[in-house]
Amino acid sequence: MKEINITTSFTIFENLNELPKEIQNLMNQAIEIRKKAYAPYSKFRVGAALLLDNGKVILGSNQENAAYPSGLCAERTAIFYAGSAYPEAKILKMAITAASDTNQTTAPIPPCGSCRQSIAEYEIKQETPIEIYFMGEIGEVYKSSSLKNLLPLMFDKKFL
């Protein structure tokens, strides 16, 4: 029997104002699109903003549906749009923010498992890490230098 240890590393910013200006701008766009989320069932709104290597910023918010699980998370809304509209562009950075209509979210909220797997697909495809910044409604912002920090044992095409 063997045991492996996997470690991950994150940079923690105390608040939005501590982020570099470029990332503050990206996160502010994620906050604005979060407000437009369609979340009548969960009352949990998520916004995502992607910076592409062509300079474009792609926005996405979660879109729910009464026929669960037919809705789509903000991260996948944005990443799939980027993949269809700009298939040759690389995703450099992703900013994610989440807020509840019923209570204030103060802890950083990372992407769900399905979103992690979708982000992994694009990170592997483009062979370039995607910086991921995530936060709640207020408070600390976590930075991951790659999706691999969030999903170290990822499933990808090499297993097929």
Q: What is the pTM (predicted TM-score) of this model?
A: 0.95
Catalytic member of 14, 75, 88, 123: 75
The domain locations on the chain are: 11-155
DSSP label at residue 85: H
The pLDDT value recorded for residue 134 is: 98
Model confidence band, residue 92 (pLDDT cutoffs 50, 70, 90):
very high
| Cα-based angle 75, 9, 55 (whole degrees, multiple of 5) | 40
State the pLDDT confidence band at 113, using cuts at 50, 70 and 90.
Answer: very high
Query: Which band of pLDDT confidence, cut at 50, 70 and 90, is reported for residue 69?
Result: confident
The CATH number, out of the four listed (3.30.230.10, 3.40.140.10, 3.10.129.10, 2.60.40.650), of the domain defined by the range 11-155:
3.40.140.10
Judge whether 29 is annotated as a binding position: no
Does the pLDDT at position 157 exceed 90? no
pLDDT at 35 over 90: yes
Q: Are 158 and 151 in contact (CB under 8 A)?
A: no
Q: 75 catalytic, yes or no? A: yes
CA atoms within 13 A on the CB side of 86: 17
Between strands 57-61 and 11-13, the pairing is unpaired
